[in-house]
Amino acid sequence: MKVQILGTGCPKCRTLEANAKIAISELGLEVEVEKVTDIEAIMAMGVMMTPALAVDGTVKSVGRVLTKDQIIPFIRGGK
């Protein structure tokens, strides 16, 4: 599984990344976390506002800093 944090490195993007890592740790899963900072790649995924969270290439959230509790269902496969 791969979790992608889409953003240019702003404080909100870093917070989303930290929250995702906490969620992954709490679940005890082996998950690759990738930061996508290239604006062309971000736009190619259909994202026009950051930060965004994608799981296995599917964008799950745009323009919001999710808490770890909001991220966990996405990692578990929920919507």
Catalytic residue set: 10, 13
On the CB side of 56, how many CA atoms lie within 13 Å of its CA? 7
Which residues neighbour 69 within 8 Å (Cβ) at sequence distance 6 or greater? Answer: 23
**Look-up of token digits 């808490």:** 67
